Amino acid sequence: MKSPLLHIVTAAALTLISCSATDNDIHFSNKGNEVPEFSSEIAYTYIEDQVAFGPRVPNSDAHRNAINYFRDHFNNTAGRDAVFVQEFKTEVYGDTLQLFNLVAAFGLEHSDRIVLAAHWDSRPRAENDPENPGEPIDGADDGGSGVAILMELATIFAEYDVPVGVDIILFDGEDYGESGDLSNYFLGSRHWAQNPPVPGYSPRFGILLDMVGGTGAVFPKEGYSMNYAPDLVNQIWTVADEMGHGDLFLAEQGGAVSDDHVIVERYTGIPMINIIHHRRGANGRVQFAPYWHTQNDTMEIIDREVLQAVGDVLLEMIYNRIPG
């Protein structure tokens, strides 16, 4: 039996099919609305909870415990009828992986919708670690931080009615591929995009969060995002600057980072951008944080101020900038 969520969101989606989800539809304005407060302290505890399970690698106990934890949280915030877990299996490197995407819908009365997404799995190998390259990582930032921000947003959405429909998606299997093997990354987003739970789903836009809580984080304007939705990127970065976060949301061109948003845009046409901690090197190549894909991606590198800035910008966008 399909979840009631699918029937409700399908009806909303079908009203949008005739409207193309293009960057030209995105126009922000300051409405002077009151914006709820984001708690980086609570978001921090959500990262701690994830890390406490151990590395969330597919087929592990930590992976199974984590999806149950997420399911409980979103059942409690969105309501059971507004949460759908997409289960699927895929074979990678000779192993059959049991994977789970989670979708939670808020503001089901709104046909006009946006997507907020992150990946929840953690990497099964730390190839950049000089001492333990074959061991899985905690993924406090790489996976954990984006999910934690979305969990805190869900708590806020449950208390304060959203002026636009918001669908939160947690993608599984983003980080399973070996270095250089992009065909075995992005397993969850690829399955979701090629097997949509809601036929004809056409939100206004999507925002992907990846590595959004680490010390020293900066968010230049990621390359694919600027191709897919430059107006959206520029408007969000302008909002961040107005809020005093221009030191994080850099007004400069970043690198082109292959990530879940590329898969979503490729298969669905939904313009999705990526807020991701990286730098563009002098040679144009993408550079990530020194703890990326190492055993140092732990709670010690999580910065509450970075979590706060990202959460504040997203809430300002949703409650005060997007046309209602």
Listing DSSP states for 40-79 in one string gives: HHHHHHHHHHHHHT----TTSHHHHHHHHHHHHHHHHHT-
C-alpha span between 232 and 206 (Å, rounded): 10
* Domains assigned to the chain: 40-321 (3.40.630.10)
Structure confidence at residue 324 (pLDDT): 63
Whether pLDDT at 104 is above 70 = yes
In this predicted structure, what is the pLDDT of residue 119? 99
DSSP character for 313?
A: H
Residue whose tokens read 């302290």:
41
Element (H, E) at 312: helix 304-316
Closest CA to 292 of 320, 257, 263, 242: 257
Q: 31-87: per-residue pLDDT in tens?
A: 999 999 999 999 999 999 999 999 999 999 999 999 999 999 999 999 999 999 999
Average pLDDT on 136-151 reads 99
pLDDT tens track for 303-324: 999 999 999 999 999 999 997 6
What was the pLDDT predicted at 20?
A: 41
Q: For residue 3, with 0-12 CB atoms within 10 Å meaning exposed, 13-18 middle and 19 or more buried, which class applies? A: middle
Statement: residue 6 has pLDDT above 60: no
pLDDT for position 25:
59
157-180 pLDDT, tens digit per residue, is 999 999 999 999 999 999 999 999
Give the pLDDT mean for 139-155.
Answer: 99
- Residue 218, C-beta contacts closer than 8 angstroms, at least 6 positions apart: 247, 248, 250, 277, 278, 279
Could you say which DSSP state residue 180 is in?
T
pTM of the model: 0.94
